[in-house]
Structure formats: C-alpha cells, structure tokens
C-alpha cells in the first residue's frame, strides 16, 4: 500500500519527512493512517506522458571534438 506521510517519523531502519511517499505493508500502512501519521495515496493506473521541454536549445560542446 502506498502512503504519504503527514508528519516526520523515525524508527529502526526507516525515516520519513512530511510529504514523503512510501510503499509499505498493508498492516503497517493502516496502523500509520489510523494514528494520523500518514494518508493513503490513491492508485492511478493511467500512464501519463511528460511533455518534453522544447523551450531551450542545447549549445554545441566547447573544446576539441572527441576521437
């Protein structure tokens, strides 16, 4: 289950800051949600394409060309 932390949390082998998202076991996720440390992240199965930023152009490399 994927959750988003609302508060900071530290434990043995784990630490999280507010806003961190983490995939953890359902049992542990439900316990953290019930205690108010985290909220459930909705599952979105839709794949989204990220548009490529074409506003900037690359400049040619400086120096000697490689062999």
Specify the DSSP element, H or E, that contains 2.
strand 2-5
Q: What is the percentage of the chain residues whose pLDDT exceeds 90?
A: 49
Question: What are the E-state strand segments in 6-67?
Answer: 9-11, 14-16, 21-23, 38-40
| DSSP one-letter code for 19 | T
> CB within 8 A of 24, min separation 6: which ones?
1, 3, 32
Residue 29 above 70 pLDDT? Answer: yes
pLDDT of residue 53: 60
Residue 47 above 60 pLDDT? Answer: no
Do 28 and 64 meet the contact criterion of CB atoms below 8 Å apart?
A: no
Q: What is the percentage of the chain residues whose pLDDT exceeds 70?
A: 76
């Amino acid at each position: 289950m994927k959750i988003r932390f609302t508060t900071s949390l530290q434990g043995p082998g784990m630490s999280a800051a507010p806003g961190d998202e983490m995939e953890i076991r359902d049992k542990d996720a439900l316990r953290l949600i019930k205690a108010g440390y985290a909220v459930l992240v909705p599952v979105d199965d839709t794949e989204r394409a990220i548009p490529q930023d074409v506003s900037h152009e690359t400049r040619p490399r400086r120096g000697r060309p490689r062999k």
